[in-house]
Chains A and B, each alone.
Chain A
Amino acid sequence: MRPDLTTLRTQIRAIETEGRPALSCLPTGADKLDAALGGGLALGGVTEVVPAAFMDEPASLHFAFACMAKALQQRSGDLVVIEDTSRGQGWGPAWGQLYGPGLQKLGVCPSRILLVRAPDVKGFHACLEDAARTFGLAGVLAVSGPKAGFSLAGARRVQLAAEQAHSLVLAVQGLRTSAFAPARARLVLASRPCRPVALGTALPGLGPPAWRLHLERARSGARPQSFDLEYDDATHCLYQPATLANRSPQPHRLSA
């Protein structure tokens, strides 16, 4: 074999993902989802969260922060949130800006968040890559606008950077953002009516937030499937409600 071909092979092997040590995972707490994802959200990889409909965009961010609450509990370091603000204030005009007290309710300590507002798509990509490459972060959350989709090469760079530093990267996409090709999993999120709490008032009270999550694609090889998920604000954990409890949406009134 010619020597230059050998060096080329070693170079290619360095770029290939074959034979690399298996990446660890962060369990979300919902057992069946974790099993389908191959143990949980990938550490050292990008997981894509996509809303099922335009009105579900806040819910997908809500869910992403619920996952990040878990990451902040289990990992040291801070959470870096990168927003694409090329379209004015990014999600600002549409859904509002991240609000500290509400995030604290979800279990994300506001003083552990570093908020980065990238002025343009190019800056957004550079910041995400830089953050994904940084060791010792609890997680990186990228909130993309509709124009902030990655090219194939750009997405691959972020994925490799995340693999190097074993960082947990969640990309919360807009409805029309182009897909993040090398993502470890693509989760499509839809709102679902919660289980109401009977308060004795004309309208029942709010139960824990509930979502329907559709696993559209996963590198672990799991077939596409849906999960009903809820989030408990008190214990800060994501769980699948017991099927027995998932009865009629009408609240039970106590008889006098």
Chain B
Amino acid sequence: MTNQIAAQNSATQSPREVAVRASHVTMDFGGVLAVNDASFELEKGRFLTILGPSGSGKTTLLRMIAGFQKQTAGEITINGKPVDAAPPHRRSIGMVFQKLALFPHMTAAENVAFPLKMRRFNPRQIAGRVDQFLDLVKLGGYGNRRINELSGGQQQRVAIARALVFEPDLLLLDEPLAALDVKLREEMQLEFRRIQHELGVTTINVTHDQREALVVSDNIIVMDGGRIQQQAEPVELYRAPENPFVAGFLGLSSFVEGTATADGNMQVGDLVVQGEPADDFAAGTKVLAAIRAEQIRLAGTREALGNCDMKLEGRVSDTIFEGERQMYVVEVGALSGATFRVYHHDPDSFGLFHVGDTVALGWNRRDLKIFSPAA
């Protein structure tokens, strides 16, 4: 049954068809721009995550797409039609809420049947469809349970079934995994991914969890301060952040300030640090370089580093054991005392260096991104 739905969806969907388009969407809460001139496109059947810290405007953007709030400027279209005049119940959007918002006075099956009743589905088909979707979320046989008789993970699944049962054009996820413990969260991330693949439903997910964004999404938008900072595919986003915010928000980066040189590198004191310019900047302007903790190599001597474009000496100022890896904080005198955070993933060498040790750091030119800090 589920495969049929997937087949229908893939049949109706031609490649590169845009499902959601936001053009210059702005939300002005009396002078505070919660969302500032946000524009993006999402193709049909794709899984988009809007990633950002709290207060970045990601939830406001989602609520405007759902129709719970009306933007003060700009336009949102779904499948080519502007939806701004339509109230939420006239939009074909399924939503999973942060606190799930399951109806406590109904059973699991009644919750899943509710959208079908409200959307005037043929009453004779409702029961079969409810069963089909409870099976899809692996809750077959749990239909008669009351909501408070289900575990947190099972409630999540009911909420997903309720959001998807009427085959909406769009599925919205408002941080539904935020309250779960780590193990269950990771399990549910993969479930979201599986179900989304199985049904092929266009999905927008909102989260502050960068790992979740990278795991589940086809496409990621990073937001901060109400503005879209970057939209890219996960690997691309991780590999080529466009500004220091994205570099700092995804993964763990160390930053070094310096001055731009004519050939696009960065000068700190007498030392020229080779890196990859991420924007255009004039020679002599102030710039900010970022490098990720796992892209720095660490060894006892320069020779032991092997091939690296850049090699420096530093002093270990802190060591933090994180279980699957060891993090070293290294202070580099040659870069006017800039500190680098370095991950060491080899279990055999945990505890190899101690605070106060002199170590050698190395990295490759393309891994150090140079930004103009104003961006």
**Chain A partners chain B:** no
Q: Show the binding face of B for A, using Cβ within 8 Å.
A: none
